[in-house]
């Protein structure tokens, strides 16, 4: 019972909902010429370099999880720090903490408040899957929340046949595809495709606005193929620097909990 509750709550805090299905047919996208592809590739490299400088994110999140016909809302307080640290506090309708999940780079810890039950796991690529049935590593989870892009060669660039001006572009790489606004540039959708296989998850980024001089999406929607769960994360009170009054390392401490 408690394990099921934690699985739903934690997955809900990060999985994505309502991600818009991208165009999939040849008529919806077309390859661009070499010069155009180079310009888009340069925009992606600039975006990657800019996001590489983002090391920390905190936010208050209003989340909606959708599993089949069943949906639920809840609130959460989120902190992440590159490359692989995570703190999540899940709240009830009264703002009281229901559970917490912490990853410090070596261990993953979760605690369920009402029962007092806790567990610890080695933080490897399978830690979240073993602990909470979440098919994602902590490293990838942190990267997606910080919009950090893996360094990867570009195989092809395609222009989306869209009424939007300028139209979005798709950047096809060995292990992922990116839907980008190349003019700004902004990441609109990240599609993970391990070893060129069918996508395993998608992350839809929208509602961009400026925070501390940086354009950042306030709506992040995750969609996983297996398990088939979606969640929309609406962010508020976004900050890229921890409060000066507090040691940020304490947020990710698993040893003293």
Dump the DSSP string for 128-169.
HHHHH---S-HHHHHHHHTT--------EEEEE--SSSSPPE
Q: Specify the DSSP class assigned to residue 19.
A: P
Residue 27's pLDDT band, with cuts at 50, 70 and 90, is: low
Q: What pTM, to 2 d.p., does this model score? A: 0.85
Q: What is the pLDDT of residue 16?
A: 36
| Averaged confidence pLDDT in the chain | 85
* Residue 158: closest CA among 23, 21, 20, 19: 23
Lowest mean pLDDT among 24-28, 29-33, 68-72, 88-92: 24-28
Q: Is the pLDDT of residue 194 over 50?
A: yes
Q: What is the pLDDT of residue 17?
A: 39
Q: Is the pLDDT of residue 9 over 70?
A: no
Q: What is the pLDDT of residue 74?
A: 86
> H helices within the chain, ranges in order?
2-14, 34-52, 127-132, 138-145
Q: What is the pLDDT of residue 2?
A: 41
Lowest mean pLDDT among 40-54, 105-119, 123-137, 150-164: 123-137
What does the alpha-carbon distance between residue 17 and residue 66 come to, in Å, rounded to a whole number? 7
What does the alpha-carbon distance between residue 218 and residue 57 come to, in Å, rounded to a whole number? 12
Q: Specify the DSSP class assigned to residue 1.
A: -
Residue 71's pLDDT band, with cuts at 50, 70 and 90, is: confident
Residue 190: partners with Cβ closer than 8 Å, 6 or more residues away: 144, 149, 176, 178, 202, 203, 205
What does the alpha-carbon distance between residue 237 and residue 220 come to, in Å, rounded to a whole number? 14
> 73 is written with which tokens?
């809302």
Q: What percent of the chain has pLDDT over 70?
A: 88
Q: Is 27 helix (H, G, I), strand (E, B) or coil?
A: coil
Q: Is 3 helix (H, G, I), strand (E, B) or coil?
A: helix
Q: What is the pLDDT of residue 128?
A: 79
What does the alpha-carbon distance between residue 100 and residue 6 come to, in Å, rounded to a whole number? 9
Lowest mean pLDDT among 170-174, 227-231, 250-254: 227-231
Q: Is the pLDDT of residue 12 over 60?
A: no
- Work out the end-to-end distance of the chain between its first and last CA atoms, rounded to an integer number of angstroms: 23
Q: Is 183 helix (H, G, I), strand (E, B) or coil?
A: coil
Q: What is the pLDDT of residue 148?
A: 95
Q: Is the pLDDT of residue 4 over 70?
A: no
Tokens 């929309």 belong to residue: 232
Residue 195's pLDDT band, with cuts at 50, 70 and 90, is: confident
Instruction: Note if the bond before 80 is cis, omega within 30 degrees.
Output: no
């Amino acid at each position: 019972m408690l394990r099921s509750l934690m699985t739903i709550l934690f997955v809900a805090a990060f999985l994505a909902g309502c991600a818009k299905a991208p165009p999939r047919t040849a008529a919806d996208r077309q390859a661009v010429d070499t010069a155009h592809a180079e310009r888009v590739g340069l925009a992606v490299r600039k975006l990657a370099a800019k996001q590489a400088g983002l090391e920390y994110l905190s936010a208050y999140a209003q989340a909606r999880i959708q599993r089949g016909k069943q949906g639920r809302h809840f609130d959460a307080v989120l902190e992440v720090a590159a490359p692989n640290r995570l703190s999540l506090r899940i709240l009830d309708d009264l703002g009281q903490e229901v559970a917490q999940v912490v990853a410090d780079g070596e261990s993953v810890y979760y605690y369920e408040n009402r029962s007092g039950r806790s567990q610890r796991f080695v933080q490897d690529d399978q830690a979240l899957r073993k602990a909470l049935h979440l098919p994602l590593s902590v490293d990838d989870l942190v990267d997606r929340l910080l919009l950090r892009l893996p360094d990867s060669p570009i195989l092809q660039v395609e222009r989306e046949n869209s009424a939007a001006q300028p139209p979005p572009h798709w950047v096809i790489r060995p292990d992922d595809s990116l839907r980008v606004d190349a003019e700004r540039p902004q990441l609109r959708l990240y599609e993970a495709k391990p070893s060129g296989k069918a996508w395993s998850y998608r992350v839809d980024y929208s509602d961009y606005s400026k925070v501390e001089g940086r354009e950042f999406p306030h709506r992040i929607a995750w969609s996983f193929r297996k398990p088939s769960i979606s969640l929309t994360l609406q962010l508020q009170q976004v900050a890229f620097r921890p409060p000066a009054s507090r040691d940020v390392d304490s947020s990710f401490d698993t040893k003293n909990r």
